[in-house]
Structure 1
Amino acid sequence: MDTNQARKLLNIQIEHLRLILGSGFGVNHAESTMFDIINIVKENNGLRGYFIELISETLTKPEIGYLDSNTVPGELIELATHELRWPEFQALANNRIDKLFAGKSALAISDISRKIADAYSDDWPDREFYAHYN
Structure 2
Amino acid sequence: MANTMPHGDAPDAVEGFRRCVHEVLRIADSSCGVEELEPELEHALRILQGNFDLRDRLEEEIVSLLDTPVEGVIELVSFVMHELRWPPVKAEIERRLAHPTGDVSNRRHYEAMLDAFHDSWRDRDLYRRYG
Post-superposition CA distance 1:53-100 (Å, at most 9, x none): 123223234xx2266xxxxx1111111110101111220112112331
Which of 30, 34, 38 is residue 23 of structure 1 equivalent to?
30
Report the CA distance shift for 1:110/1:8 in structure 2 as closer, same or farther (over 3 A): closer
* Identity level (%): 26
TM-score (norm 1): 0.78
1:122 aligns with 2:122: no
Report the CA distance shift for 1:35/1:77 in structure 2 as closer, same or farther (over 3 A): same
TM-score (norm 2): 0.80
Structure 1 segments of 4+ aligned residues over 3 angstroms from their partners:
107-110
Whether contact under 8 Å (1:89, 1:116) holds in the other structure is no
Q: Give 5+ residue unaligned stretches, structure 2.
A: 1-5
Report the CA distance shift for 1:24/1:86 in structure 2 as closer, same or farther (over 3 A): same
Q: Give 5+ residue unaligned stretches, structure 1.
A: 68-72, 102-106
For the aligned residues, what is the CA RMSD? Answer: 2.3
Give the match for residue 57 of structure 1: 64
Task: Report the number of matched residues.
Answer: 122
